Amino acid sequence: MITQKEFAKRRKSLLKKMGKDSIAILNSAPQMRRNCNIDYPYRQDSDFYYFTGISEPEMLAVFIPGRKEGEYILFLPEFNFETSVWTGATLDPKRAYREFGADQVFTNNLREQELPALLLNRKKVFFNLGKNSHFENQVLKWVKISKTKIREGKNAPDTFIDLEPIIGEMRLIKSPAEIKIMKKVANLSAAAHLETMKLCRPGIMEYQLAANIWHHYLKNGASFPAFEVIVASGKNACILHYIKNDQKIKNNELVLIDSGAEYQFYSADITRTFPANGRFSSEQKAIYQAVLDTQKKVIAAIRPGISWDKLQALTEKTITKHLIKLGILKGSLAKLLQEKAFFPFFMHKFGHFLGIDNKDSGRYKIDDRWRILKPGMIFTVEPGIYIRANTPSVDKKWWNIGVRIEDNVLVTRKGVEVLTTLVPKEIKAIEALFFDRKT
Ligand SMILES: [Mn+2]
C-alpha cells in the first residue's frame, strides 16, 4: 500500500519543484462510454492517482505553492441522491479532508467561479499538455476569465508549462513502497503465466489461455490486466500486439503470451514463448536460444551508470550476431548493424519503463543525452525475433516463428534484480513443465 504520508510527500515535492507564483491543475481520467448506458471499467489517470491516491472520477486537483488558504485544493462531485442509490456515494468533502489530506475542498458546480479566482496573480500554469484537449480548453477558458480582472489591477497567468517532464522524473525512481508493490504484481503475474503454460496443449483456444490469465489475476486481487492479454500461437506471434486470441492452438506451434496484471495501480509486463506440445522443434529451439541469450546478456549489463542506448545497441548487436550464425543474415557484423539489417526481425525497442503505466512516464533522452540508469528504476527487457512467412531470402524452415522473452528488472545500487523469475525461461525448465504434467 502507498500510504497517505507518501502521497503527501509527492505533493510537497511537486509544490517545491513548481516554485512561487505558480499553479498546477490535474484532472481525473474521463469516464468512457462503452455502449448504451454502460461505461468501460473506470481507471484513474496515472498522474492524478500518483499525487492524490484517489481512484474516483470527476475530480480536479489544484496545487498552489505558498497559498495561505491551503496549497492542495480538490474539486469533487456534488452529492447526488440517485447516484448514491445506483452506484454508491462518491467521495464527500469530509473524506477528502480526512483521508486524502486536502487543504480545501470545493464541489464541481463551483469550478467556473473558483478556478479563474485561483488563477489570479499566478504567473505560471502547470498542466499536462497534449493529454486531453477538452481539459486544455477548459484551462484556457479559466485563464481567459481571469484576464478580465486585469483592469482591476489583478494579474493573470502568462506562461504554460508541461507537467509531464517534472512528473516523469518523479515517477521514474520508485520508492521502497512502490518497489514492494511492483514485486508483488510481478510475482502475481509470473504465477499466472506459469499456471497458464501448464494448462496449454494442442487444440486449446488462445482465448482459453487468456481466460486463465484473467482468472489468476482477479483471483489474487489484481484489478485487471494492465493491458489486453496477448496469446499468440504460430504465425500470430509475429504480430507484436496480437489481441484477437481467437485461434485454435496447433501441435508443433509456439505460443507467445505477453501479459501483466495491474495491482494497486502498478503493473507488470511479462512475455514467455513456449511450444504448445511441450517440445521445441530444432528451428524453434535455435531462435528461442538466440533471444534468450540476448535477453540474458542485456540483463547482465544493467547497472547504475550505464546509459539506455548502450542496452539498445547491445540488444541489436547480439541479435544480429545470432541471425548471422543461423544463416538468416549474411555479411559482416559491422555492415549489417550499420544497415540495421536486423530490423525486419526485431522492430521494437529492447524495453520500456514500467510503473503505474505500462509504458511508464520518464524521458529516455534528456537534451541530447540518453538516460543514465539509477537505482530505483524499473523497466522491461524484451528482445524478440519474428520471422514472418515470405520474408525475402529467408529459408522456409524459419517462417512463422515468433519469439519474445520479457522480464521486469529493478536497477539496484550494485546492479540489477530481476522481478519476474517465478516463471521459467530456460528451454529445459519449460519442457520439464510439460513432462511433469504427463507423468
Ligand atoms: Mn513490454
pLDDT tens column, 358-405: 999 999 999 999 999 999 999 999 999 999 999 999 999 999 999 999
Tell me the C-alpha distance between 246 and 225, whole Å. Answer: 18
405 alpha carbon to ligand 1 midpoint, in Å? 10
361 alpha carbon to ligand 1 midpoint, in Å? 14
184 alpha carbon to ligand 1 midpoint, in Å? 18
269 alpha carbon to ligand 1 midpoint, in Å? 5
Measured in degrees and rounded to the nearest 5, phi and psi for residue 149 equal: -95, 5
Q: Beta-carbon neighbour count of residue 22 at 10 Å?
A: 20
39 alpha carbon to ligand 1 midpoint, in Å? 27
pLDDT tens column, 91-117: 999 999 999 999 999 999 999 999 999
- Grid cell 534484480 is found at 417
Beta-carbon contacts of residue 117 (< 8 Å; ≥ 6 apart) = 146
Closest CA relative to residue 404, chosen from 362, 361, 350: 350
pLDDT at 260: 98
Tell me the C-alpha distance between 142 and 116, whole Å. Answer: 5
270 alpha carbon to ligand 1 midpoint, in Å? 7
352 alpha carbon to ligand 1 midpoint, in Å? 7
167 alpha carbon to ligand 1 midpoint, in Å? 21
256 alpha carbon to ligand 1 midpoint, in Å? 13
351 alpha carbon to ligand 1 midpoint, in Å? 6
Q: What is the pTM of this model?
A: 0.96
Beta-carbon contacts of residue 353 (< 8 Å; ≥ 6 apart) = 172, 359, 360, 361, 362, 377, 378, 379
Measured in degrees and rounded to the nearest 5, phi and psi for residue 269 equal: -155, 100
Under 8 Å between Cβ of 1 and 264: yes
pLDDT at 287: 98
402 alpha carbon to ligand 1 midpoint, in Å? 15
**Burial class of residue 381, CB neighbours in 10 A (0-12, 13-18, 19+):** buried
251 alpha carbon to ligand 1 midpoint, in Å? 27
407 alpha carbon to ligand 1 midpoint, in Å? 8
362 alpha carbon to ligand 1 midpoint, in Å? 15
Tell me the C-alpha distance between 252 and 232, whole Å. Answer: 14
Tell me the C-alpha distance between 294 and 354, whole Å. Answer: 20
pLDDT at 438: 53
Give, to the nearest 10 degrees, the angle between helix 164-172 and helix 4-18: 140
Looking at beta carbons, which pairs linking 158-163 to residues 24 or more positions away fall under 8 Å? 158/123, 159/123, 159/124, 159/125, 160/124, 160/125, 160/127, 160/129, 161/22, 161/124, 161/125, 161/126, 162/126, 162/127, 162/128, 162/129, 162/130, 163/24, 163/26, 163/47, 163/126, 163/127, 163/128, 163/129
Under 8 Å between Cβ of 182 and 386: no
18 alpha carbon to ligand 1 midpoint, in Å? 32
Closest CA relative to residue 277, chosen from 430, 398, 403: 430
382 alpha carbon to ligand 1 midpoint, in Å? 7
Instruction: Name residues of the chain where pLDDT drops below 70.
Output: 437-439
295 alpha carbon to ligand 1 midpoint, in Å? 13
175 alpha carbon to ligand 1 midpoint, in Å? 21
359 alpha carbon to ligand 1 midpoint, in Å? 8
312 alpha carbon to ligand 1 midpoint, in Å? 14
346 alpha carbon to ligand 1 midpoint, in Å? 14
268 alpha carbon to ligand 1 midpoint, in Å? 9
Beta-carbon contacts of residue 258 (< 8 Å; ≥ 6 apart) = 229, 230, 232, 269, 270, 271, 404, 406
pLDDT tens column, 193-216: 999 999 999 999 999 999 999 999
358 alpha carbon to ligand 1 midpoint, in Å? 7
Tell me the C-alpha distance between 269 and 262, whole Å. Answer: 9
Beta-carbon contacts of residue 296 (< 8 Å; ≥ 6 apart) = none
395 alpha carbon to ligand 1 midpoint, in Å? 29
pLDDT at 439: 44
150 alpha carbon to ligand 1 midpoint, in Å? 50
Under 8 Å between Cβ of 356 and 162: no
In this structure, the strands spanning 230-233 and 266-267 are unpaired
168 alpha carbon to ligand 1 midpoint, in Å? 18
53 alpha carbon to ligand 1 midpoint, in Å? 25
230 alpha carbon to ligand 1 midpoint, in Å? 11
